[in-house]
Each structure stands twice: as C-alpha cells, then as structure tokens.
Amino acid sequence: MVMTTTEGILLAVCVVLGLALAALLVRRRLQARRQHLSSEGERNSVLESVLEGLGDACLLVDDRHHIVFANRETGELFQAGGDLKGRPLAELIRDERILQFVRRLEQSGAKWAEEEFRVGILSNGVAEERFLVVAAAPVKLFGDASRRHFRVVIRDETDRHDTEQIRKDFVANASHELRTPLSIINGYLENLLEGDIEDHAMTRKALVTMQKHGERIARIVEDMLTLSKFESVGEKGISSLRANSFSCRECVEDVVERLAPLVEEKKARFQLKFPPAGADQIRGDRFYWDQILFNLIENALKENKPGNLVISVTMERDGAAAVIRIADNGIGIPRADLPFIFKRFYRVAKHHSQKIKGTGLGLSIVRRAVEAHGGTIGVDSTLGLETVFTIRLPDYVPDAAPGESGGTAD
C-alpha cells in the first residue's frame, strides 16, 4: 500500500500534535509537583515560624533522633553555637533521662507526654542547676509523611522554683525570728499572772523586757513591709517613688547625728569626703536613702568592737554617675559569706546574733532600695582590715551651684 502525500502530511501532523500534547502533560505535572513542593515548603516554613516564636526552647527531631529544626531559645538554653540542624539530639541534650523520655514516647505511641527534670547545664563554663519541663508529641511534616517526627518543647522553670524556695525560706525565717520574742513575752505574762505582779522589781523587769521584745517584733514587721513595698515597685523603679534632688552629704550627716549615742559608745571616727556642694546631689526618695545609709552605717558600728574604729563615707562622680562608698576598718566579713549577706535574715556571725539585736533584713532592704532607684550595690571585704560597700547610681546631672570642697570630719 502506497501512502499518498496528503496521508503523509496528516500522519506527520498527528505525530507532532501527540508529541506536543505529551510535552504539555509532562509540563503540567512538573508545574503541579513544583506547586505542591512549594506549598509544603511554605507550610513547613510557617510551622517553623510558629515554633520560633514560642519563647521556650523547641526542637523537631526525626525517627533517628536527629534534629530537623531548633529555634534560637534552644541554642541559648544549652549554650550551643552554630546550626543544630542534622545533629544528633544526644549531642545537644546530655541528660540521658530526657533522651529516654523521648524514646518512651516514641515506643508507646502516645499523643503527648510531659515531665520535669532537675539537670545540670553548663553556663559560661560553670555548671548550673536548672529545672526543665520537657513536653513531647509526634507531629507530621508536610512532604515527609513516610518518617515520624517529634516536637520537643523545653521550658525552663528554674525561676519559679527559686521564687518558691525564697518564699518558703522567708516564711520559715520570719516565723523563727518572731517566735523567740513572742515566747519571751508570753513567758513573762504567765509569771505575772501567776502572782509575781506583786513583786514590783520583778514586774518592772518583766515589763522592760517585754517592751524590748515588742519593739523587736514591731521592727521585724516594719522591715518586712518595707521589703514588700520595694518588691511591688518592680520594674517601675524610681518613677513610683517620691524622687527629688538632695545633698548626699547632708543625708549622711543627718544619719550620723541620729546614731550619735552608738558612735560615742563605739568611740568611732568618721571621714566624709564629697564633691562640692551642688555636685553632691543625688536623685531619689530621701526617706529611703535615710534608711539605706542608716542601715549601712549602723551595721559598721554594731558589728565592730569599740576602739580605733574609723568609718569613711565618700562620694565621687564617674562621668554623670554617682559612686558612694561606705567603708570601715573593722573585723571584716569572711569571703565565703559575701555572696549571701544581702539575703533575708542572713547573719554572718551566728554566735553573735544573740548579742547584736537586729532583724537580719537590713541589708536586704538596702539592696532592694538601691535597685528601686536604678542603682547597684556590691561589697568587698578583707578579714581584719576593711569592709567596703559600693553603691553606683545611674547617670544624673546635678544642679549647678557654687561649691565648697569636701573635707574630713572626725
């Protein structure tokens, strides 16, 4: 059979059309596949964005326990640098209990699990104890349905535990501090009710003792209320206090005058050194600065033996910032105690606490008051030589005023 020219042309046209149609179908399939992959990528990108904004450490791990995704908080929590993607989970989390927790979830087929762990984490090369709440659940990643993935969220609850422990310690210490004076007062009341009230000498001794311990209870309560006030200040800082400019030197001189009987008892000398008048101004609530300086100077007097005690109070400018130092040449503070002296009810010399009556809250109030004014306070001490408290206040430009040089007052 011989094909005519017309038939040949028609056949060629059919072949061309068939090839074009096949190419069009392939192209459409490729476009659909690309759109599908793009949609899956966008969905996964959205998922990662959600996980990135959680605020807690969050990871996605595959069935081989390799990291598919880790947000910024994960690297910060575990002090891990670089890209974590593709690395084994065991390289990031060293605690075997957490790894076993994820394995148990995988093996059980559960939809969700949560558990708290007390772990040690290296922070700047130093091991720190942390309380971590780990929650894990299986998830499906778009475009990878053949493999199982797990979402692991790690929430750091250390601050909550610390706050709870502080609350428990505070209640226990406050109860202990109040129990002793209350027991003494009740003991004397029982004696008086049993008939000793007829003995005027005994009655007077009992009343004087009860008054002294009643005043101690009142001071403890007052100090606790003061601490509560500063804690309620929180982030409001100095704006929630009655902030005015005043002379730091005048404030110190007023405190020293109030402590005159104790100064005389301890035979102490004072050295005051301040910038010229006007340049010695600080900004804050004068009432609480009286308390700050009163507590620090009173401690320097009470905690040291009478004799050649010299207490120096100085102020200098570091740029626009004010630096105030209260130093004494007394017995000093053991270096092991220095990190704890601003804690509530903490006393350095436990054997000394019955002789020196105080609430154990003074330095806690000082720290809270300084921080409420936007400042910081630190302490350094050498046994038998000196103790120095250093307060640094934020930048403040004092009012211009004609000055007089600071000096020394004995």
Tell me, what CATH number does 188's domain have? Answer: 1.10.287.130
For the domain that residue 319 is a member of, what is the CATH number? 3.30.565.10
The count of residues in the chain is 410
Residues 270 and 408 in one domain: yes
Q: What tens digit of pLDDT does each residue of 181-236 get?
A: 888 888 888 888 877 667 788 888 888 888 888 887 887 787 777 777 776 655 45
Residue 31 within any structural domain of the chain: no
The average pLDDT across 264-290 equals 89
Residues 205 and 250 in one domain: no
Whether residues 86 and 187 share a domain: the answer is no
Residue 2 lies in a domain: no
d(CA 270, CA 253): 10
CB burial class (10 A; 0-12, 13-18, 19+) of residue 251?
A: buried
188-197 confidence digits (pLDDT tens): 888 888 776 6
Contacts of 215 (CB under 8 A, 6+ apart): none
Establish if 15 belongs to a structural domain: no
Q: What is the mean pLDDT of the chain?
A: 78
Q: How far apart are the first and last CA of the chain?
A: 134
**CA–CA distance, 192 with 173 (Å, rounded to integer):** 30
Sheet holding 149-156, edge to edge: 67-70, 57-62, 149-156, 126-139, 113-123
Q: Are residues 179 and 89 in the same domain?
A: no
Domain count, the chain: 3
Query: Is 151 in the same domain as 162?
Result: no
- Does residue 261 sit in the same domain as residue 338? yes
Question: Do 145 and 181 fall into the same domain?
Answer: no
Of 86-90, 101-105, 128-132, 353-357, the range with the lowest mean pLDDT is 353-357
CA angle 46, 52, 56 (to 5 degrees): 140
- Look at residue 43 in the predicted model and tell me its pLDDT: 47
Q: Is residue 342 part of a domain?
A: yes
Last residue in a domain, options 179, 202, 235: 235
Q: Which of 235, 267, 285 is the last residue of a domain?
A: 235
Looking at the structure, tell me whether residues 60 and 86 fall in a common domain: yes
In a domain, 303, yes or no: yes
- CA 339/CA 408 separation, integer angstroms: 32
Residue 327: give the domain boundaries: 241-410
Residue 20 lies in a domain: no
Q: Is residue 391 part of a domain?
A: yes
Task: Check which CATH number belongs to the domain holding 45 and give it.
Answer: 3.30.450.20
- Tokens 């009341």 sit on residue: 189
Q: In which residue are the tokens 């004087």 written? A: 208
Q: Is residue 30 one of the residues assigned to a domain?
A: no
75 shares a domain with 216: no
Question: Which of 102, 127, 156 is the endpoint of a domain?
Answer: 156
Same-domain status, 282 and 389: yes
- Tell me which residue of 368, 380, 376 sits closest to 392, measured CA to CA: 376
Asked if 309 and 408 sit in the same domain, the reply is yes
What values do phi and psi take at 323, rounded to 5? Answer: -120, 120
What whole-number distance in Å separates Cα of residue 297 and Cα of residue 344? Answer: 18
Do 104 and 187 lie in a common domain? no
Q: How far apart are CA 224 and CA 226, in angstroms?
A: 5
pLDDT for position 23: 65
Q: E strands, 169-279, where?
A: 244-247, 269-273
Question: Which pLDDT tens digit goes with each residue over 15-34?
Answer: 666 666 666 676 666 665 55
User: pTM above 0.85?
Assistant: no
